[in-house]
Every structure is written in C-alpha cells, then in structure tokens.
C-alpha cells in the first residue's frame, strides 16, 4: 500500500506546476464492494471499503481539455464460497482488498446555459490485491478505456452527474500458484466485458461537493492454464467469469491549481 501511495503522491506533485491552470479536488469516501464469480456454489464477496482520491481538470471555458482521476482504496469484506480443492464444500471468511486506479481523460467542454456538458474518453489502469488467506492471494492489473458524458454547473453550486461505459483492454491475474505448492505460476488472462458507470452529486459551494456513484468491471472466463506438481502435470485452472460492483459516496474538497 505504501508503494501505491507514493505513486499517487508523485502524480500530484507532477501536476502541481506553475504552467497549469486547473481545478483540483481531494476526496474521501466509502465504497460498498460486491464481487461475484460464476461458479457452483457461487463465490461472492461484499462489504464496505475506504477510498481516497484526487481529481484534476484543465480549466477552459470551452473546447478540448485534459483531466486526471486517481484513487486509493482498501478494506476487508465478507467471503462466501467454497474451498479451492473441495468446491462442493461451502465456506465463509474474509477477503482483504487494497488497490489504486489512475486514469487520464480527454474531454470536450460545451457550455449549455448554467451548466457545462462534457463528453469524454479515458484510458486508465486499475491494480488491486485480493487476499483470501495467508497463502492464497491474487493480484489483478486491468488496463481499460472509458467513454461517457458528464455535466457540472458553470457557477459554484448545482447538480453534477454522468453516465458511460467501461471496457477492459487487458487483464492480468497473478494467482500465486507457487504459494499453493505448485512448481510454476502461469498468469491468468480473463477476457473483458462491457460494463456501466454513473454518478450524481451536488456542488454545495465553491469548495465542497457531495457525490454518489456506481462503478463496475466485468470479466469473462479466462483460458485454462496448466500447472505442474513435482515436475508432472497436475491440473488446469482458470478464472471464472466475474463481476466487480462498487457503490460509493464521497465528499470532495475543490480548489484551484495555478
């Protein structure tokens, strides 16, 4: 988690340049996480996690502009599923999550009365650790693109909101098979699926904004990978189709960067 914090801090320092005129925002909030895998019995994880983030948007009255969105998140949620080597045996427990997300955006600002409407496209990476026990963990690295449209008040108060879709371009899952006693550690490559996002908020004044949001990431089954034990083929493993849903509420402090 310290490395992830250092990356985010480095990004903030890089953006704080005298050549930039922009609005920035620091925020903190809580997210309700739901993870579900298409297995029998079904694997589900759910519970609240904490999140903090930083937003930066180039300041222009209209036209093309650049933006950055980043966040750190961590927490422990409830696990309901089955044993790895006894899939018919139901179990419950806890799963720890920690991760970070970075996204660069190209936006087109169009003033409409008292509001700005901004279609945008973004490219980002979401990386998280998912630890089910002291010996069983996974690291996901997901490169994705997002596209949507958002609106915000041109003044200092009013409604904000947006909708759009996300698509994973590349997914790498390190399941640490060697921690489970196998000889090799092939990475799993789940296939991406289209998912949705949305947000709705209210800018209270010049400095504060409260927002609710929904994010999702969807995977299809990965191709199976072969693992060996004591030099001999043991079995094939794959990551089943999975869905990650996040329902969040955050309070943001807004300020200019010059």
Q: For residues 99 and 3, what is the distance between their CA atoms, to the nearest angstrom?
A: 10
Q: For residues 71 and 181, what is the distance between their CA atoms, to the nearest angstrom?
A: 34
β pairing state of 115-131 and 225-229: unpaired
- Written as tens digits, the pLDDT of the chain (258 aa) is 555 555 454 544 444 444 446 899 999 999 999 999 988 778 899 999 999 999 999 989 999 999 999 999 999 999 998 766 666 677 889 999 999 999 999 999 999 999 999 999 999 999 999 998 877 899 999 999 999 999 999 988 999 999 999 999 999 999 999 998 999 999 999 999 999 999 999 999 999 999 999 999 999 999 999 999 999 999 999 999 999 999 999 999 999 987
CATH architecture of 2-17+27-257: Beta Barrel (2.40)
DSSP code for 190: P
Cβ(104)–Cβ(124) below 8 Å = yes
Q: What is the pLDDT of residue 12?
A: 47
Cβ(176)–Cβ(205) below 8 Å = no
Q: What is the pLDDT of residue 132?
A: 86
Cβ(148)–Cβ(124) below 8 Å = no
Q: For residues 257 and 103, what is the distance between their CA atoms, to the nearest angstrom?
A: 19
Predicted structure pTM score: 0.88
Q: What is the pLDDT of residue 9?
A: 46
Q: For residues 102 and 154, what is the distance between their CA atoms, to the nearest angstrom?
A: 26
Q: What is the pLDDT of residue 13?
A: 46
Q: What is the pLDDT of residue 87?
A: 60
Q: Where are the domains of the chain?
A: 2-17+27-257
Q: What is the pLDDT of residue 4?
A: 54
Cβ(103)–Cβ(68) below 8 Å = yes
Cβ(129)–Cβ(175) below 8 Å = no
């Amino acid at each position: 988690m310290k490395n992830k914090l250092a990356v985010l801090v480095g990004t903030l320092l890089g953006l704080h340049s005298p050549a930039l005129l922009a609005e920035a925002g620091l925020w903190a909030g809580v997210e309700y996480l739901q993870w579900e895998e298409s297995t029998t019995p079904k694997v589900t994880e759910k519970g609240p996690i904490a999140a903090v983030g930083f937003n930066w948007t180039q300041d222009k009255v209209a036209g093309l502009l650049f933006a950055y969105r980043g966040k750190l998140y961590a927490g422990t949620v409830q696990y309901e599923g089955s044993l790895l080597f006894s899939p018919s045996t139901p179990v419950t427990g806890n799963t720890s999550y920690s991760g970070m997300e970075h996204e660069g955006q190209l936006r087109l600002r169009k003033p409409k009365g008292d509001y700005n409407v901004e279609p945008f496209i973004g490219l980002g990476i979401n990386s998280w650790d998912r630890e089910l026990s002291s010996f069983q963990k996974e690291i996901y690295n997901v490169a994705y693109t997002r596209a949507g449209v958002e609106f915000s008040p041109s003044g200092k108060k009013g409604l904000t909101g947006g909708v759009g879709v996300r698509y994973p371009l590349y997914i790498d899952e390190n399941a640490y098979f060697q921690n489970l006693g196998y000889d090799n550690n092939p990475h799993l490559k789940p296939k991406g699926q289209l998912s949705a996002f949305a947000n709705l908020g209210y800018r209270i004044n010049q400095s504060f904004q409260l927002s609710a949001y929904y994010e999702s990431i969807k995977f299809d089954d990965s191709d199976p990978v072969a693992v060996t034990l004591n030099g001999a083929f043991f079995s094939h493993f794959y990551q089943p189709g999975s869905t990650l849903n996040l329902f969040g509420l955050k309070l943001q402090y807004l300020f200019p960067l010059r």
